Structure 1
Amino acid sequence: MSYITTTSLSLFFFLFSFFTFISSSPLQDPELVAQEVNRKINASIARRNLGYLSCGTGNPIDDCWRCDPNWEKNRQRLADCAIGFGKNAIGGKGGKIYVVTDSGDDDPVTPKPGTLRYAVIQDEPLWIIFQRDMVIKLKEELIMNSFKTIDGRGASVHIAGGPCITIQYVTNVIVHGINIHDCKQGGNAMVRDSPRHYGWRTISDGDGVSIFGGSHIWVDHCSLSNCNDGLIDAIHGSTAITLSNNYMTHHDKVMLLGHSDTYTQDKNMQVTIAFNHFGEGLVQRMPRCRHGYFHVVNNDYTHWEMYAIGGSANPTINSQGNRFVAPNDRFSKEVTKHEDAPENEWKGWNWRSEGDLLVNGAFFTASGAGASSSYARASSLSARPSSLVGSITTGAGALSCRKGSSC
């Protein structure tokens, strides 16, 4: 308790002295003030919360847990390592360890104990791990309940060939270390979503991970490719989301964040996209944003065919410290795409590029004078220099972790 009190007082006195200095100084750009406050607060939080192991990779999530040779005995420590807008997603922390022993999915209404579906629908917090390598071909969408972690470390786990993961109107979900690919549409079927309820599901989109009205969600170190619709989509008022350390390949419409231009409930959406590798065979939507606040930080974009970051309906997009390598096609050099609006409208949208590395003719079309308050709402962590992106993202995707040694 004394530590918390001391830290809180230190932060209070820093802010008090900072704003006292500002108020007694000549008038400064309020936007620069907001950026400096955000930087100092995040630096303080990073030192306090993420300095557990200090592996020195420059990736604050990985530095928090990956160099621990006893990670398998300390699995739930992962829940303390999140960053960004989804940093409070605790998943199944504090709950029992549940071991998936059966890769089958024969009955989505009455799932067998030992299956992944049986685990994710339970009411209590669970930290879900896997007994061995397995490929899970789901019969219908895997509809998750709140306070669950799917942790694939220590096994090669693939969810593939059928419908995939749905996070709908629930909270505190972590999906880590899973290969998610070749996802298909499901639906027109009964599916259970809790021990007490099942219901009729209409046709699904076929996303890898579908977040629908969810909050406090963290998808980390997953490998995703070749799904029917999006690799990761978040819509219908979803917020407090971090998508980090993922490796995405061979897909068209990669990531949709925001349901539609007319669905204004997405104005409160906040998503952090950090330390991901957008790789071979990707076309567009990395991400495509609507309405909300999106922090795109320290990602490696090594392939796109149409554009990397796009949006409509006046989203705030804060792009910091990314590496954008444009394709050789001279018509696809632009990182950004302002969609569904004339230029006199999108010029007011607040899209920023700060410290991005633009390679092979890549260019970012910034827009909007941007209020400092709006910019701050799209700032979720401090960016590292773009020159470090290669090392920060070198471990993106599902990791090959073995018991008794660091990952």
Structure 2
Amino acid sequence: MLPMSCILLMCLFISFSSQIKAHKTTFSNLTLPHQHPYPESVVQQLQQKINASLSRRELLSKNQGSCLTGNPVDDCWRCDTNWAANRQKLADCGIGFGRAAMGGKNGQIYIVTDSSDNDPANPVPGTLRHAVIQDEPLWIVFAADMTINLRHELIFNSYKTVDGRGANVQITGHGCITLQYISNIIIHNIHVHHCKPSGNTNIRASPTHVGWRGVSDGDGISIFGSRNIWIDHCSLSYCTDGLIDAIMGSTAITISNNHFGHHDEVMLLGHNDKYLPDRGMQVTIAFNHFGEGLVQRMPRCRLGYIHVVNNDFTQWEMYAIGGSANPTINSQGNRYTAPSDPNAKEVTKRVETDDKEWSGWNWRTDGDIMVNGAFFVPSGAGLSAQYAQASSVQPKSVVQIDQLTMYSGVFGDPRDNGDIYPGFNGGGTTTGGTNMNKGYNGGSSSDDGDLFGMIFKGSSSQAPPYSKSNVFVSTFLSLLIIFILDTITNYDILLSLL
């Protein structure tokens, strides 16, 4: 009996140890309490959602008047002609790492009626500043078009949605938006521009707390030690520092459907190379349009896991995606249009790092479209055959990028100057994608539900998402083996285990 009992214990040990071994790297990298332990599973879920939206649009495309675009965020709420009566539906439409951001869901509607910002320490009811500092969840909307010229940083409290749909809302001035040590924020359909440093003053952060603030950087949106943040359909430009910066242990962030233009250092993700908690930073950057007058940092990453998917990069002067301190960059289904400068064709830049050091970093390109000589330098796992393979671009892929990003930025805004892409002539190269040339039959693919050669599943070498069902199946099979052995050998093993 003892030997067979040992077999049972060994089977159970092997079952559980195999699960733990497959994910030991993931567990060792957990540095933040709200970090997702299996980022690749979030990537796969987003891919599935995009494929489902594209499939649904394809099926309904024959129906005249179909409002679907294939963009899973927009298709979630825009087809409802009465969306204004159900604004909070937007909170159910999140994607990627920031998909759990609740914003002001289930809270009261707060209508901003006053565009003034005269006293940041004592905001007037009806102003945006008064709305965002309240303790309870609020869904904040605007009574009319307005330009809010801030005197100092606009400091948010948790569980707020700023919903600019139906109005032309401009946020500008000094400090702009600060999300510090808070959670569950949705910022949707507003302009943020011409933000300047300010500070050395008292600013109210809640109904009961006024605090002294030093000088701000002049970011458009500053995310500091915060989580569950979703920035969607905003237009950002002309700020002193970054358009969006996320630092100091921020995580669970989605930046989607935005329009970035006329700026140098666009987006910084990570405080510095030695701030180890930022290893847990996880950011999804999806369906954005990186437009005119941009120089670098789209984004510039440190330490964390950054998923860059289905964006349209139409201009940069130095580079598009940069990083240091071994971040994971997962670039999938983007269109990169290089500038005419022959010295600025590379999409990627390892910042102040020797190539012997970054050769093991996991930077991968999967299904990306390279235009006007653009090229992406992969490394680490990104050098595997799946990501290194390239094939000629099929027009369907280019059309799909236009479709997914056609409404980027604030609704109704022009897309640069007449949708002109520097150097773009309908051609290019595509990276990655083992099924790029398969199954094309006029707009759909027969390969695993992937449409238009745009979305690809992860490498087969990646560990599958951990689940209790996997453990259950393994345990069940172990017991089945023991039952068979018990029957063959006539040992009363099962009885001995009761």
The bucket for the TM-score relative to the shorter chain is 0.7 to 0.9
From 246, 270, 278, the counterpart of 2:282:
270
Q: Is the 8 A contact 2:77 2:83 kept in 1?
A: yes
| TM-score normalised according to structure 1 size | 0.84
Alignment of 1:388-399 (within 5 A): 388-399=400-411
**CA, structure 1 residues 258+35, in 2 after alignment: closer, same or farther (shift >3 Å)?**
closer
Match of 1:134 in 2: 146
One-letter code aligned to 1:100: V
Match of 1:348 in 2: 360
The residue type paired with residue 298 of structure 1 is N
Unaligned runs of 5+ in 1: 1-19, 24-33, 376-383, 402-407
Q: How does 1:226-265 map to 2 (within 5 A)?
A: 226-265=238-277
> 1:68: Cα distance to partner?
1.5
C-alpha RMSD of the superposition: 2.7
Match of 2:174? Answer: 162
Matches of residues 198-209 of structure 1 in structure 2 within 5 Å?
A: 198-209=210-221
- Is the 8 Å Cα contact of residues 141 and 163 (structure 1) preserved in structure 2? yes
Q: Tell me if structure 2 keeps the 8 A contact 1:287–1:309.
A: yes
Amino acid at match of 1:244: S
Q: Which of 206, 215, 218 does residue 194 from structure 1 map onto?
A: 206
Whether the aligned pair in 2 keeps the contact of 1:172 and 1:217 (CA below 8 Å) is yes
Gap runs ≥5 in structure 2: 1-14, 19-37, 61-65, 388-395, 414-498
Q: 1:176·1:219 contact (CA, 8 Å) conserved in 2?
A: yes
Does the CA-based 8 Å contact 1:155-1:400 persist in structure 2? no
Contact 2:312 2:335 in 1 (8 A): yes
Amino acid at match of 1:121: I
The residue type equivalent to 2:95 in the other structure is I
Q: Deviations over 1:124-181 (max 9, x none)?
A: 0000000000000011100000000000000000001222000000000000000000
Match of 1:292? 304
Return the offset for 1:371.
11
Aligned to 1:14: none
Runs of 4+ in 1 over 3 A off after TM superposition: 34-55, 384-387
SS of the residue corresponding to residue 192 of structure 2 reads strand
Contact 1:91–1:173, Cα closer than 8 Å, also in 2: yes
Q: Is the 8 A contact 2:53 2:71 kept in 1?
A: no
Q: Which amino acid aligns with 2:261?
A: T
2:181–2:226 Cα contact (<8 Å) kept: yes
- Do the aligned partners of 2:266 and 2:298 also contact (CA within 8 Å) in 1? yes
SS of equivalent to 1:294? strand
- The 1:64/1:121 distance shift into structure 2, 3 A limit, reads same
Name the CA distance, whole Å, in 1 between partners of 2:121 and 2:276. Answer: 34
User: Aligned pair in 2 of structure 1 residues 387, 355: CA closer, same or farther (>3 Å)?
Assistant: farther
In structure 2, C-alpha distance between the alignment counterparts of 1:39 and 1:55, rounded to whole Å: 26
The total of aligned residue pairs comes to 360
Distance in 2 (CA, whole Å) between partners of 1:105 and 1:270 is 34
Percent pairwise identity: 64
Higher-Rg member (1/2): 2
Contact residue 94 and residue 230 of structure 2 kept, 8 A: yes
Residue 211 of structure 1 aligns to a residue whose secondary structure is strand
Q: 1:324 aligns with which of 323, 336, 356?
A: 336
Letter in 1 for 2:295: V
Task: Describe the superposition over 1:86-107 as per-residue Cα deviations: whole angstroms up to 9, x where unpaired.
Answer: 0000100000000000000011
AA aligned to 2:233 is H
- Which of the numbers 69, 85, 89 marks the counterpart of 2:97? 85
Q: 1:219 to 1:48 in 2, by over 3 A?
A: same
- 2:448 alignment partner in structure 1: none
1:111·1:117 contact (CA, 8 Å) conserved in 2?
A: yes
Shift of 1:394: 0.9
| Partner amino acid, structure 1, of 2:180 | Q
Amino acid in the other structure paired with 1:111: P
Shift of the alpha carbon at 1:369? Answer: 2.7
Contact 1:154–1:400, Cα closer than 8 Å, also in 2: no
Q: Report the secondary structure of 1:390's partner residue.
A: helix
Between the aligned partners of 2:403 and 2:78, the Cα distance in structure 1 is: 14
1:34-49 equivalent positions in 2, closer than 5 A = 41-42=45-46
Distance 1:39 1:89 in 2: 17
Question: Which residue number corresponds to residue 25 of structure 2?
Answer: none
Asked if the contact 1:298/1:386 (under 8 Å) is kept, the reply is no
Q: Following the alignment from structure 1 to structure 2, what is the Cα–Cα distance between the partners of residues 188 and 148?
A: 26
